[in-house]
Amino acid sequence: MNKNKLFPQINGILHGGDYNAEQWLDRPDILAKDIELMKEAGMTSATLGVFSWSAYEPVEGEYHFDWLKDVMDNLYNAGIYTVLATPSGGKPAWMAQKYSEIRRVDSYDVREHQGVRENHCMSSPVYREKVANIIRQLHAHVGNHPGLIMWHVSNELGGECYCRLCVKRFQNYLAEKFDHDINKLNKAWWTTFWSHSYNSFSQIEPPYKNGDFSIMGLNLEWKRFTTWNMNDYMKSEIKLLRELTPDIPITTNFMQLYDGLDYRPMAKELDVISWDSYPRFHNDYESLADVMGQNTFDHAVMRSMKKDKPFMLMESAPGLVNWHPYNKLKRPGIHKLFSYNAIACGSDTVQYFQWRKGRGSFEQYHGAVVDHLGTNDTRIFKEVAALGAELDGLSEITGTLIRSKVALLFDWDNMWAIDDVKALGQESKKYPETCMSVYKELTKRGVDVDVIASDEPLDDYDVVVAPMLYMLRDGAAESLAAFVKRGGQLLSTYFTGYVDKDQLCILGGFPGNGLADVFGIISEEIDTLYPSDRNSVSFTDGSSCELRDYAEILRVGTADVLGTYDSDFYAGNAAVTVNSYGEGKAYYVAARIDYSKLGEIMEQMMVNAGIAIKDLPDGVQYHCRYADDGTAYGFFLNNTNEPQTISEVHGTDIQTKNIFDGKMELAPFGVSIIKENN
C-alpha cells in the first residue's frame, strides 16, 4: 500500500456522494432502499450532514441526532463509510430571525434577509459560538462512530460580508499589516491620487459599490482580507474538530478557480484537498477535448496545493446539473471518462452531488445516482454502478502521485489585480483563460504540469511558464532570476512585471525588479487592439502566426529576436525573444499570439530541458501517477468518439491485463491504465 493512500479502510478508489438523508426521515422505506441501491452501485462512502442543522436543532437548544446515528449505523453495516460535514453552510431560520448579525451585509451596505446558503457573516461571534456548539453536539453523538472517516468543513465556502463587524476586522487587519502606520498604507495605496489619503485606519471602508472602488490597493486588500477572514472562520471550525477528533482528517470542498478566495492559504489548514467539478459537456462553443482540457487544468490547480497527497473529487454530477444555462445530459460513456480523468490527474475518489434527487427546492433536478423514478435500471444508475465495480479494483493506484518538472505560475491576487486594472481592453484581459490555453498546449504533449504560486520554490522544476504575471509578489522576480541562472527554461508574456504586491507600478522599466535583465528586453508600450484588429509575427525560422488583443513594443537589450511584427507602426520590431541568462534561457512573448505557436515554443523549451514529450493523437490525453516504489501508471483517455491508435505504449493494462509493446487501440471515449515497463 502506498503510504499516501487516503483511506486505508477502503479498498480501491473511494466511491461516494452527498446523501441528504434528513430529507427522507418520514420515508423509512426509501432510506432502506438507499442502502440496498448504494451496495448495488458499489458506493463505499456517503457524505452526510451538509445541510442538516435544522434537522439537528429545529428549535434553539433542542437536539435530534438519533436519525443521524441510525443512518451512519446502517451505512456502516453495509460497508459504507461516512464523510461528515459540519452544518455551518446552512443556517436555520430561527437563528437568522433571532440574531440578525449572522446575516451578511452586501456591497451596498444592506443587511441580507435569511435565505439561500453559505452566507453567514464570517466575523459574527454569535455564529462562531453557535457553530462550535453544534459541532460539539455532533461530536458527542457520532464523533466516535467507526464509520466516520473524514470531516467536511461547512460547504463551498465563499462570498463577502460588508457588515460593521467585518469592517472593524478589516481595519484591524490593515493596521496590523501596515504596522499601525497609516502613512505606510497611504504610500502603498497611492492615496494622494484623487485626494484619498486617510489619517486614521478608522476611515477605511471596504470598496462599497456606492463608495470607493478607485483605489486598486484597497480593492485588492479587501479581497485578501476576505480570504484571511474566511480562513480565520474556517480555522475556528478546524481547531475545534482537531481537539475533538485528532485522528480524523479534515477537508473542505473547493470550487473551480473560484475567484472570491485565494485557496492556497486555506489549503495549508486542511489535511486533504477536495473539490467540486461541473464541466459544461457537449456545449456549442468548444470540443469535448477542450472541456476535458480545462478540467485537467482545474485538477492540476487543486492537486498542486498538496503535491504529496492524492486529492478528492468531492462532488460531480451523474447525468446533468440544473444550473448551467443549458442543462444537457452527459452522453453515455462521458461519466466514466470524466471520472477517470479525475483519477488520472491525482484524485483518489469519485464522489457525487447527489445520491438521490430531492423532491423540492433549488436542486430538485440536479443530477443524482437515483432519480425520482427511484429504480436501479436507469441509464445513469447503470453507468454509475458499472463504474463503481471498476473503482473497487483500482487499489494499486490509490496513494500514487504525479511528479512534474514543469510548473505554470498562477496567482489569485494576480488574477484579481488584472481583473481590476484600469487599462487594456475591458473584455479581453482573460488571464485565467490564457493560463488554461497555455496549459492545454502542454497537456496536448502529454506533459503533467504543476500549477503553483509565483513565490513557491522552483527547485523541483526545469521549465517554468508564467503567463501575464502582471504582479510581482515580494521575491518572485528574484526567484525567477535564480531559476534561469541555474539553468531553468522560463517563458513569460506581455503584461508581466508591471506592479508590486500593492499594485504600485514599478519605475524604470517593465518587466520590473530585475526581470528586464533576465529577459534582455524592456517593454516600452502595450498596444490594446480592438476585437477585430489582427497582426502577425514572422519568425526567424520562416514560420509565422497571427496575434490579437495585445502587443507590446519592446526595446531589445541582450535578447535574441525570434520573431518580429509584420504590420502596424511597430512592424519589424521584436515580438518574441529569448535571452541567455546564466545557465538558462528566458523567452519573452510580447503579444497574444496563437496558442499553437506558443505550444511550439514551449516544446523547444522541453527539448532544451530534456523533458519527454508524447506524440498523442488529437483529443487523447496522457497522465502518469507514480507509486512509492517508482512504478509508473500511465493513463490514456480518449476524449473523442472515434477509436484512436496510440503508439509507443509499453506495459500492461491493469484492468484488461492486456500487454502492449508498441501500438494500442483506444475505444471511443475509452480509458486505459497502463502499468508501464520501467
Residue 652's φ and ψ, nearest 5 degrees, are -125, 130
Q: Is the peptide bond before 511 cis (omega within 30 degrees of 0)?
A: yes
Please, which residues have CB within 8 angstroms of residue 527's CB and are 6 or more apart in sequence? 550, 551, 552, 553, 568, 570
Does residue 65 bind a copy of itself (CB under 8 A)? no
| 14 bridge partner residues | 349
CA-CA distance, 624 to 305, in Å (whole number)? 18
Does residue 108 bind a copy of itself (CB under 8 A)? yes
Residues 612-671 that bind a copy of itself (CB under 8 A): none
Q: Which stretch binds a copy of itself (CB under 8 A): 69-77, 308-316, 506-514, 617-625?
A: 506-514
| Least distance in angstroms from the C-beta of 19 to a copy of itself | 13
Q: Which stretch binds a copy of itself (CB under 8 A): 123-131, 195-203, 482-490, 557-565?
A: 195-203
Nearer to a copy of itself, 64 or 235 (CB): 64
Helix 431-444 to helix 288-303 angle, to the nearest 10 degrees? 100
Residues 351-370 that bind a copy of itself (CB under 8 A): 357-366
| Least distance in angstroms from the C-beta of 632 to a copy of itself | 35
Q: Do 468 and 494 touch, CB atoms closer than 8 A?
A: yes
Selected binder of a copy of itself within 74, 245, 283, 631 (CB under 8 A): 283
Does residue 504 bind a copy of itself (CB under 8 A)? yes
Q: Which of 17, 44, 80, 23 minimizes the C-alpha distance to 318?
A: 17
156 catalytic per annotation: yes
Alpha helices in 119-261 (DSSP H): 125-142, 164-177, 182-189, 216-244
315 catalytic per annotation: yes
| Least distance in angstroms from the C-beta of 569 to a copy of itself | 5
Does residue 28 bind a copy of itself (CB under 8 A)? no
Greatest alpha-carbon span in the chain: 77
Selected binder of a copy of itself within 373, 607, 659, 667 (CB under 8 A): 373
Q: Which stretch binds a copy of itself (CB under 8 A): 247-255, 400-408, 523-531, 667-675?
A: 523-531
Q: Which of 139, 127, 12 minimizes the C-alpha distance to 84?
A: 139
Residues 74-103 that bind a copy of itself (CB under 8 A): 87, 89-94, 97
Do the strands 521-528 and 544-556 form a parallel or antiparallel pair, or are they unpaired? Answer: antiparallel
Contact mark string toward a copy of itself, 556..585, x via CB under 8 A:
------------xx----------------
Q: Which stretch binds a copy of itself (CB under 8 A): 265-273, 421-429, 603-611, 665-673?
A: 421-429
Nearer to a copy of itself, 5 or 282 (CB): 282
CA-CA distance, 399 to 5, in Å (whole number)? 4
Does residue 51 bind a copy of itself (CB under 8 A)? yes
Residues 205-264 that bind a copy of itself (CB under 8 A): 205, 207-208, 210-217
CA-CA distance, 7 to 13, in Å (whole number)? 9
| Least distance in angstroms from the C-beta of 334 to a copy of itself | 10
Residues 303-322 that bind a copy of itself (CB under 8 A): 319-320, 322
H or E element that contains 517: helix 515-519
Q: Which stretch binds a copy of itself (CB under 8 A): 235-243, 247-255, 405-413, 502-510?
A: 502-510
Length of the chain equals 678
What is the size of the binding site for a copy of itself (CB under 8 A)?
Answer: 118
Nearer to a copy of itself, 180 or 268 (CB): 180
Q: Catalytic residue among 22, 57, 160, 315, which?
A: 315
With cell 497502463, the residue in question is 674
Q: Which stretch binds a copy of itself (CB under 8 A): 182-190, 391-399, 434-442, 645-653?
A: 182-190
Which strands form 274-276's sheet, in the order they lie side by side?
A: 253-255, 274-276, 312-315
Burial environment of residue 89 by CB neighbours within 10 A (0 to 12, 13 to 18, 19 or more): buried
Selected binder of a copy of itself within 172, 323, 474, 647 (CB under 8 A): 323
Do the strands 463-466 and 406-409 form a parallel or antiparallel pair, or are they unpaired? Answer: parallel
How does DSSP assign 115-136, residue by residue?
Answer: -SSS-B-SS-HHHHHHHHHHHH
Nearer to a copy of itself, 322 or 580 (CB): 322
- Which residues are annotated as catalytic? 156, 315
